[in-house]
Amino acid sequence: MKFFVDTADVDEIKEIAATGLLDGVTTNPSLVAKTGRKFTDILEDICKVVEGPVSAEVAATDYATMIKEGKKLAKVADNIAVKVPLTMDGLKVCKELSDAGTMVNVTLCFSAAQALLAAKAGATFISPFVGRLDDISHDGMQLIADICTIYNNYPEFETEVLVASIRHPMHLVESAMMGADVATLPPKVIHQLFKHPLTDKGLAAFVEDWKKTGQSIL
């Protein structure tokens, strides 16, 4: 499974990239707004840090403007994946950009039927939002299972399942067990993956025992 980080904070991206775990980045207008910086400047900086796909979302909702924005974003770097909403106009943009060789991430997916449409439109990634479904008492992980089943039934589909709106480590674990291709995680959740009380307890014991030896490796 590939790990993407869901942020527009370049410093956070650099920190996580240093672990060797990072395969890509997803951004959205809300994340960009938090930085207070120009969108294209942020994208250029991120693409210098990360070799994998960097999702950059269009701001418009109509086809004519979205396709112009998408083409402009695609020129920022070769690893830009243009992010479009799962609407009819969004899928028209997806089809045109995909045919031209641009990676496209179709976002705001909340049903298996929508995911099927995105795959047929040639999306590189489909982004189902599990946490937002959980918020309204729907089973977000069942959506991932349904999409993986459908895509596996049709080998000609090359669209990767990119699990988004992840709220906690179990969303990641369950997605991996279902065979999802990618998970995009907020930095907070990535840091939670490292933590386990038994790891902390064991490390503390080892440190204490080492002190008793009076030795130094250096």
Catalytic residues: 83
Antiparallel, parallel or unpaired: β 80-85 and 125-128: unpaired
Residues with Cβ < 8 Å from 184, sequence gap 6 or more? Answer: 4, 5, 6, 24, 26, 127, 162, 163, 164, 166
Q: How far apart are the two ends of the chain, measured CA to CA in Å?
A: 38
Distances (CA, A) of 53 to 60, 67, 73, 148, 203: 21, 19, 13, 21, 36
DSSP 40-53: HHHHHHHHHH--S-
For residue 36, the 8-state DSSP code is T
164 forms beta bridges with: 129
How far is the C-alpha of 56 from the C-alpha of 70, rounded, in Å?
A: 9
* d(C-alpha 201, C-alpha 215), whole Å: 22
